[in-house]
A and B are shown apart, each in its own frame.
Chain A
């Protein structure tokens, strides 16, 4: 995978993360709502950074789709938390691929490493609410 294709794939995932957290937040309340909004803000900032990195690599960032269909209907807090967990797992995978495709010391590598850490921390918090065991190596292809 080239760094350009990894960046486009990461941007595609981040578009879905932004959309998904917006959808999930509507069903969350209290600390989970706050956590969802914080994740949404981080995802928006990272989406813009990924688009910037793509332009620096001479690529045109792919736009977001008008809407995305979640893997399962989001109708309450439990299904919203499950969606948040799925979003972070997708982010872990995209971050792994980004790190693997990048060069030592460059901005893409740094972004990917930090993103993987942040996604794993959030995934563990969402997983705690669903009693799901997290994999020992976040993002590693299975």
Chain B
């Protein structure tokens, strides 16, 4: 029985591989479909980067975690000493934007990530 199960899995994998190969062959003629959530993710990363620069301590660590979850990285250069502090209104505004993006996101996992960051901003505000 165990051998039969392994065979079935292998066969499923092989059958699934065929359309992928066909798709690769057609790549030049069929343009890749754009990621429908790319713009929302980019906007979230930009906002998070601004909050990261304007924060310090544990909040800075939280924004760094948010950036990483969004596929972004922190700037390598140190933030200027006169960086604006992260005001409560900015966090609330960011949370509202992130919640709207989460509601509209095509990917469920991206939606959950955006909603979670929004929740964290609400809790920090």
Contacts and interface: CB of A to CB of B under 8 A. Distances in A.
B119 A101 contact: no
Interface residues of B, number: 27
Is the contact region of chain B dominated by helix, strand, or loop, or is it mixed? helix
Interface stretch (A65-73, A75-83, A116-124): A116-124
A116 to B, nearest CB: 5
B69 to A, nearest CB: 6
Chain A contact residues: helix, strand, loop or mixed: helix
Contacts of A100: 108-109, 111-112
Interface stretch (A33-41, A42-50, A55-63, A105-113): A105-113
19 contacts: A96-B115, A101-B108, A102-B111, A104-B104, A109-B102, A109-B111, A116-B116, A116-B119, A117-B99, A119-B119, A121-B122, A124-B123, A124-B124, A133-B58, A136-B66, A137-B66, A137-B69, A138-B116, A139-B112
